[in-house]
Structure 1
Amino acid sequence: MNEVLRRAMFDAQLTEVDLSARLAVDPKTVRNWLKGQMPHPQTRAAITRLLGIEETALWPSLCTLGAGRERPSELAAVYPRRMAISQQSWLALFSAAQSEIGVLAYSALFLAEDARLVGLLGQKAAQGVRVRIALGDPEGRNVDRRGVEEEIGEAMSMKIRNAIAWLSLLLQQDGVELRLHDTVLYNSMYRSDDQLLVNQHAFGIPAAQSPVYHFRDGVDSEMFRSYLTSFERIWTLGRAAAVDAGSR
């Protein structure tokens, strides 16, 4: 079952019949797509326009690392920059979580400011999903350093404080944990069970403009597990932070 396609159709409020009518195909064809069959290129392009989600998110097998080279099985997609990932893709990622959601970043302000994404995290926590969020310590030296790298100075600390304020109600829920870290982040991470988005960091380039790698855990998922080990080490080093429910 193509769960990403199913979720994208649900978010777009399109049934199998609706999508088949828009694309002038038989409803059985749409059901075959949901079962895993891949549409033709022209049809795929039309579907992505209708649903507002990237082609490689809907069909990860399209992602390759170059002519004649197959991608590693754990690499589902590659995005040239984080801003290329649509809101629908983020919603699909976190919607799939059944046990674990993890966020590791300096501020993750783009997520915190999105009421729909934050609401989804709250729904998942209410369903028993563990939600862990690790953000940079606003008073930490490495947050200051990253601010200098991105040429925004003290604004980095302000972004973190703003993110915590936006997340304040979410952070009051059972099952949601916040820790602050003072580590050098070579990448940000966004986990949903066996899926992981790794946003690279580069000197002088904001994370939003840097590449993102989408990994899926499997039998030989060496990269996925290496990044997950890094996440856990930073989480262990972080400190719990009290949050004022009335801060936003």
Structure 2
Amino acid sequence: MPRNDRLRDVLAAAGMTASELAAKCDVDAKTVERWVSRGRLPHPRSRVRAAGVLGKDVDVLWPEAVRRAVKLGADRELVGVYPRRSDLPRSLFRELIEGARSRLWFGGYTSYFVWLEVPHAAETIGAKAQAGADVRFLLGDAASQVTASRDLIEATPLNLATRIAMTQAEIGKSPTPLPVRLSDRHIAMSVWVFDDDALVATHIGGALGQDSVTLHLRRRESDGPFSRYVEHFEALWADAAAGHPSLPE
């Protein structure tokens, strides 16, 4: 889960450490650190106590708690909606990658931006794979006519084939080979899955990937929107052409 920047900022403004807040709330210091660094949602009693200590409303420090309280059914899985992928918190992909333990699926046509926004991404992802995580890269097929047609629409100097090649080069820096498959069926919608979080970006017209409307989902039920997008990724993966696994340098 992404870190709780609001809680971190309020702690800093109050000149209080996580250990000090923990002592006042009668919880372990590591618990408070997880509230901040992993965005963990405290138990209701702890939320109320911490908010009182910090002099803030609970919904200011943990808006997710309020959203959960008022949502019913499938919409409970919706963490956030962003008009553009570029509107995502810049730290979100890094936090999701670093926090994932069991699954890291990259279903972007190029996922090129990952290497720009996440320092040492290949090394981190490779280490996750070595630890047993299910890592997959579903990239666009640079040789496909679909890719060529999209390049004509986007008309950018750094075309899709180049960005795909750059991602393949970055994947090659992993300390262990990573599974890569190629497809042209996800040209208009990208899905990234990190454990129980998913980011879904849908292209709008001729806009670039960074301008795609983006959803942040978190699994709350067995057959909700999150699961549907996981099924979508798995179907694409099953039909995709096997690319060569990355090789460490």
TM-score range, shorter chain: 0.7 to 0.9
Is the CA contact 1:134–1:178 (under 8 Å) kept in the aligned structure 2? yes
Shift in CA distance, 89/243, structure 1 to aligned 2, threshold 3 Å: same
Q: How does 1:95-134 map to 2 (within 5 A)?
A: 95-113=98-116, 114-134=118-138
1:20 to 11, 21, 43: 11
Give the aligned CA root-mean-square deviation in angstroms: 3.6
Q: How does 1:156-175 map to 2 (within 5 A)?
A: 156-170=160-174, 173-174=176-177
Q: How does 1:7-46 map to 2 (within 5 A)?
A: 20-25=11-16, 27=21, 28=24, 31=32, 34=35, 36=42, 37=47, 40=56
| Structure 1: 5+ residue stretches without partners | 10-15, 48-57
The number of residue pairs the alignment matches comes to: 221
Identity percentage of aligned residues? 21
TM-score (norm 1): 0.73
Q: Deviations over 1:108-145 (max 9, x none)?
A: 11113443333321221121111000000110112112
Please report how far the alpha carbon of residue 24 of structure 1 lies from its aligned counterpart in structure 2 after TM superposition.
3.7
Q: Deviations over 1:154-202 (max 9, x none)?
A: 81111111111122122x615x211111224331011011111101111
2:140 matched residue in structure 1: 136
> SS state of the match for residue 2, structure 2?
helix
Larger radius of gyration: 2
Q: How does 1:27-66 map to 2 (within 5 A)?
A: 27=21, 28=24, 31=32, 34=35, 36=42, 37=47, 40=56, 59-61=63-65
Q: Deviations over 1:55-104 (max 9, x none)?
A: xxx7545669xxx9878111111122111223421122122322111011
Moved more, 79-88 or 27-36: 27-36
1:215 to 203, 213, 217: 217
Shift in CA distance, 43/77, structure 1 to aligned 2, threshold 3 Å: closer
Whole-angstrom distance in 2 between the partners of 1:180 and 1:164: 11
Is the CA contact 1:60–1:77 (under 8 Å) kept in the aligned structure 2? no
TM-score (norm 2): 0.73
Whole-angstrom distance in 1 between the partners of 2:81 and 2:225: 14
Shift in CA distance, 236/97, structure 1 to aligned 2, threshold 3 Å: same
Whole-angstrom distance in 2 between the partners of 1:4 and 1:59: 13
Whole-angstrom distance in 2 between the partners of 1:133 and 1:32: 32
Is the CA contact 1:81–1:211 (under 8 Å) kept in the aligned structure 2? yes
Is the CA contact 2:123–2:173 (under 8 Å) kept in the aligned structure 1? no
2:2 matched residue in structure 1: 4
2:86 matched residue in structure 1: 83
2:38 matched residue in structure 1: none
